[in-house]
Amino acid sequence: MFRIGDAARQTGLSPHTLRYYESLGLIRSRRNGSGYRLYDELTLARLRFIRRAASLGFSLEEIRKILRLRDGGQEPCEQVKAWLDEKIRRIEAQIRTLEELRSELVALRSEPQATSDPICCPILEARPAVTRNAR
């Protein structure tokens, strides 16, 4: 059994984060006679899973659903695949938007400076603003 500081060090999380995850029901701790939180190896593995899933862009709510499925004896992998597909679609849309922005910036950079009376900077004022889809 590990006290909160040791569990935090072993998982790369802060004690505050462990308490927060416990308040959300993502993990559980036991208490010793003095009231200190104690974590077992299984909980440390669960914390590592949570950290990894969060680093891949899963929200804590999605992680909670994955853990609930697993705790209920179900395989969560089909749900995870569906979320991965959605995350990939969002990333691909972001990449397209960034590529469009990059092209616009490169074009602005290569244009000759206008000689008209600019309000601020003729490079930025030379073209009309492009409206992008906000997500």
What is the C-alpha to C-alpha distance for residues 86 and 74, in angstroms, rounded to an integer?
Answer: 21
**Torsion angle (degrees, nearest 10) of CA 90, 92, 93, 97:** 140
Render pLDDT for 78-111 as a digit per residue (tens, 0 to 9).
999 999 999 999 999 999 999 999 998 888 888 7
Burial class (CB in 10 A: 0-12, 13-18, 19+), 115: exposed
What is the C-alpha to C-alpha distance for residues 24 and 18, in angstroms, rounded to an integer?
Answer: 10
What is the C-alpha to C-alpha distance for residues 56 and 58, in angstroms, rounded to an integer?
Answer: 6
- Asked if the 1-58 domain carries CATH number 1.10.1660.10, the reply is yes
User: Does pTM surpass 0.85?
Assistant: no
Render pLDDT for 8-19 as a digit per residue (tens, 0 to 9).
999 999 999 999
Render pLDDT for 108-133 as a digit per residue (tens, 0 to 9).
888 766 666 667 777 676 666 666 56
pLDDT at 128: 65
Q: Any idea where the domains of the chain sit in the sequence?
A: 1-58
